[in-house]
Amino acid sequence: MSEIDEGFYSRQLYVLGHDAMYRMGKANVLIAGLRGLGVEIAKNVILSGVKSVTIQDEGQTEWTDLSSQFFLKESHLGQNRATCSLQQLSDLNPRVRVSAHTGPLDNDLLLQFQVVVLTDSSLDDQKRFGELCHSQGIKFIVADTRGLCGQLFCDFGEEFEVLDRDGEAPASAVIQRITKDNPGVVLCTDEQRHEFSDGIKVSFSEVQGMTELNSIGPVEIRVRDPYSFSTVDTSAFSEYEGGGIVTEVKETFKIDFKPLSEALLDHELLINNDYGKIQRHNTLHLAFQALHSFVKKQQRLPLPWCQSDADVLLDMVRELNTVAQLEQLDEAAVRKLSYTAQGDLAPMNAFIGGLAAQEVIKACSGKFTPLQQWLYFDALECLPEEEDQLTECSSPAKGTRYDGQITVFGEAFQEKLERQRYFLVGAGAIGCELLKNFALMGLGAGEEGHITVTDMDFIEKSNLNRQFLFRSQDIGKPKSDVAAKAVREMNPQMNITAHKNRLDPDSEGVYDYNFFKGLNGVAAALDNVEARVYLDGRCVQHQTPMLEGGTLGSKGHTLVVVPHLTESYGRDQSSSDKAIPLCTLKNFPYRIEHTLQWARDHFEGQFKQTPENVNLFLRDVGFVERTLGHGDAEALEVLGGVWSSLEEMQVGGQRPTSWKDCVSWARCKWETVYNNDIRQLLHCFPPEQKTDSGLPFWSGSKRCPHPLTFDPNNTTHVEYVVAAANLYAQIYGVNGTRDFASIREILETVSVPPFTPKSSVKIHLTDKEMKEDKTKDSDDAARLEELKGKLASPSLKSSAMQMNPIDFEKDDDSNFHMDYIVAASNLRAENYDIPAADRHQSKRIAGRIIPAIATTTAAVAGLMCLELYKLVQGHQKLSSYRTSYFILAVQYFVLAQPRRPQTFQVAGKKYTLWDDFLVEGRRGGQQEMTLGDLVEYIKENYSLTICSLLYGPSLIYSGQKDRLKLSVSDVVKMVTKKEIPPYKKMLDLMPSFVEEEEDCEVAPPIRYLL
């Protein structure tokens, strides 16, 4: 790979980094076996961007392949699987060379590759090729799924070097104090906890006084508490004076792998992923070996739900255990493996295929910690909960596309899947993967079944790297339309409708009571917490099951929400602790995140908010009065910005009449923010300033800045002016240019006003001070009166033109947005001696980009669909369900039972969030009940006396007798002063009861049907 296509790989680059991707660009990968698991691994590896992928398969397409091989169609039956899949795999990523090999595997073929993946292979082949690869330094991976059980094995040879254990950015902290001691104790500032872990190595920089620490190599630390740690002996060092940053040093390390034939005998190499299943996974290690022996002997897999074959397999496992000496075998799991081994399930392949592809990426790049060395996974809880129902799963293959699934679950279950009506919210990365699984499973593909998918976004180039249903010719089209069309091609029986609605209160006319009541479940493939919380609330309201999943780089989580059985997703738990204080942004930044946020705030203020305010002023006569109602300080800022944007520069305003004016504005702006403002700050707080307690003012997280002097030969200085001038020109409709030479010529003529720091300026040290001052500034009133007069001038409005506000767009490199952010941030970083960030890093932070990679997405969607099987089965036991959290980078998995919903008491009776008081407002076609009737109904049926009722934020009843005679909907309309939309069939009323205990904060809602 000569150049990395940053537009295509954008989100993945934030997971892997440029160096790892360059190494991947040199790797040739062989993937053997192109059934459902093989194609899943191939898809993920091709999207990730290796040099070449060769797919090998001698076999012909069969009916059972169609239940999980998404690039095969009925027209391919009888043709070679690799050849039929080649074109579609190639189309995923034109940067990767993809070829097919339809002959058998042999040593000469394998020696052409750096990584070899075997799927659907015999144990003899695994051992033979495993030995060859181990001896030749070829990274070797075995992946397999059989029904509801999966297996993964890695052997990356001897002394495999891991260049980055987990891919996390090195932690760093600002130092407050260091003791002279053995060991020395380092105390970090209390603004945020340090994120160091015990035993890591760190380096010191910018330490004043105890400068010896700056020059010693990486040293090991011991964590004492969230704000301090101990380090080397500092007793002989100089006295600590102030400052200093401590940064984690990430070290490479080496791993030795055993070849497969040796690793087979070592149970210590099994990685746990579900702590309730340790015994089962130890048993599966033997059961997979026994399965190979069974196939070798019988020339077939065990027959579905065949008792005698299961007995034979179990005997083989017991035989193997005479050597392995496991204390206890999970015999039920062996039987279920035998019953379902002929099954081929899309969700299993998605999960194991995501994990296997991530191991390929590790093998090619040295990034992240590889699997050492076995992983077993099962989802046997997807089978019916009652043993007597298991026999119902048995039905012979009939030559349909779902044969691989019917083999496991039976025909009645398949028909039930096809009758499901599901709502998928989001057609991005997880949405595409879910739709692929839905199509393969046949979810909603029957006469009564249906899938509704909604997503308001349009396809961008950066989506193509992991939203695999989209191709470059789809850029600019709606995601939901293209995704729906793609899955109809995968499975023509799919009943799917695509919407382009955002899911929020505005779309409740579409997704109303009747819509939700017609659903069997909802799948959330959303990228923000706010939308998840809203959707979760709608699901609780309508008692609808929900599947939810999310990713962040190599981390993934899934959650299943089952009415009355589990807790729901819940309220927004993300705290605003990470919000940067305004005074830090304004005067005391100490991290590049602070300068980038400052640059982003400047962009929004200058190029978006002010032009929007001007346009509002020009078309809305009440704008000035409304703004004055926001308080003097805010009004002064907003109205001052509007006036100066409308007055031309020649008469003291900021409105340019030419390109030269725009360059002049940008140059003067540069002077203000990087020189004058810093000089003013240092005038108020000189470098040697002391606090009231006699300590240096500029210490800890307060970095002492220095002003910059403009240099027309400094690239960053000129880049700021070019970007700022062009953006300024855009908002006023003036034509700009990128021509540096002509801009430098204009710069020579610009007159920069002189500046003298003032002693009257007050700089706020805390956000609290800032707030207090905003409320008591006495000069503001007079200045506001003057501004009101100026803005009332008829000539100002008559000569004014609408402005062009700019919406920040990070992914277009030609629009000056990121040019401005990078230059503005790095210049401010230079003011404060903060290390600069390159464009790539700046784009992630300022653009708030969520790092993403196809492997994690596939794994999450696989786990969500395994839970979907359980919902369709109608499982009632909490122990059948799983929530998950995993980190593919370090093979860390936590699969656990979901939590039960919390209970609360009202008048001695227990309730959960799933309980409500459902009331039909018009019973038996009569006229609507009055509020008095409602109070009486609740009293009669639940023995509870309503003392108050809330509808949203409005208190609609708190004892007013006159309201009791009105209908409930009339009371709601009267209090809210709004009509109830015709689509609203249910009102959520939050009651308080006389019988409640004083500390009772919640009560079940009254769901009132209109």
Distances in Å between the Cα of 232 and the Cα atoms of 181, 224, 793 are 9, 14, 71
Assigned token pair, 231? 């380090």
Distances in Å between the Cα of 1007 and the Cα atoms of 391, 914, 928, 968 are 42, 12, 15, 12
Match 């839905």 to its residue by tokens: 438
Distance, in Å, from the CA atom of 307 to the CA atom of 318, rounded to the nearest integer, reads 17
Are 875 and 530 in contact by the 8 Å Cβ rule? The answer is no
Cite the DSSP H helix spans in 325-448.
331-340, 346-365, 403-409, 411-419, 429-441
The count of other CB atoms within 10 Å of the CB of residue 73 is 16
The count of other CB atoms within 10 Å of the CB of residue 216 is 12
Provide DSSP, 876-915. Answer: --GGG--EEEEEGGGTEEEEEPPPPPPPEEETTEEE-TT-
DSSP 18: H
Distance, in Å, from the CA atom of 461 to the CA atom of 11, rounded to the nearest integer, reads 11
Distance, in Å, from the CA atom of 370 to the CA atom of 363, rounded to the nearest integer, reads 8
Distance, in Å, from the CA atom of 630 to the CA atom of 428, rounded to the nearest integer, reads 39
**Active-site annotation holds for 684:** no
Q: Residue 763, SS3? A: coil
Are 909 and 941 in contact by the 8 Å Cβ rule? The answer is no
The count of other CB atoms within 10 Å of the CB of residue 77 is 15
Distance, in Å, from the CA atom of 482 to the CA atom of 571, rounded to the nearest integer, reads 32
Assigned token pair, 854? 């196809």
Half-sphere exposure of residue 229, counting CA atoms within 13 Å on the CB side? 26
Nearest-CA neighbor of 96 among 313, 361, 273, 310? 361
Are 867 and 521 in contact by the 8 Å Cβ rule? The answer is no
Assigned token pair, 574? 């993300």
Q: Is the dihedral of CA 350, 355, 361, 364 positive or negative?
A: negative
Identity of the residue numbered 54: T
Nearest-CA neighbor of 646 among 752, 807, 786, 802? 802
Q: Is the dihedral of CA 316, 317, 320, 321 positive or negative?
A: negative
Q: Residue 530, SS3? A: helix
Q: Are strands 270-271 and 222-225 parallel, antiparallel or unpaired?
A: unpaired
Annotated catalytic residue within 306, 583, 668, 947:
583
Are 678 and 705 in contact by the 8 Å Cβ rule? The answer is yes
DSSP 196: -
Distance between alpha carbon 200 and the CA centroid of its chain, in Å?
28
Phi and psi at residue 854, to the nearest 5°:
-60, -35
Distance, in Å, from the CA atom of 219 to the CA atom of 203, rounded to the nearest integer, reads 7
Phi and psi at residue 872, to the nearest 5°:
-70, -35
Are 703 and 588 in contact by the 8 Å Cβ rule? The answer is yes
Distance, in Å, from the CA atom of 60 to the CA atom of 34, rounded to the nearest integer, reads 10
Distance, in Å, from the CA atom of 320 to the CA atom of 635, rounded to the nearest integer, reads 81
Q: Where are the beta strands (DSSP E) in 782-914?
A: 883-887, 892-896, 904-906, 909-911
Nearest-CA neighbor of 43 among 114, 100, 120, 98? 98
Cβ-proximal residues to 1 (8 Å cutoff; 6+ apart), any chain: 21, 22, 24, 25, 26, 49, 51, 95
Distance, in Å, from the CA atom of 294 to the CA atom of 305, rounded to the nearest integer, reads 16
Catalytic residues: 583
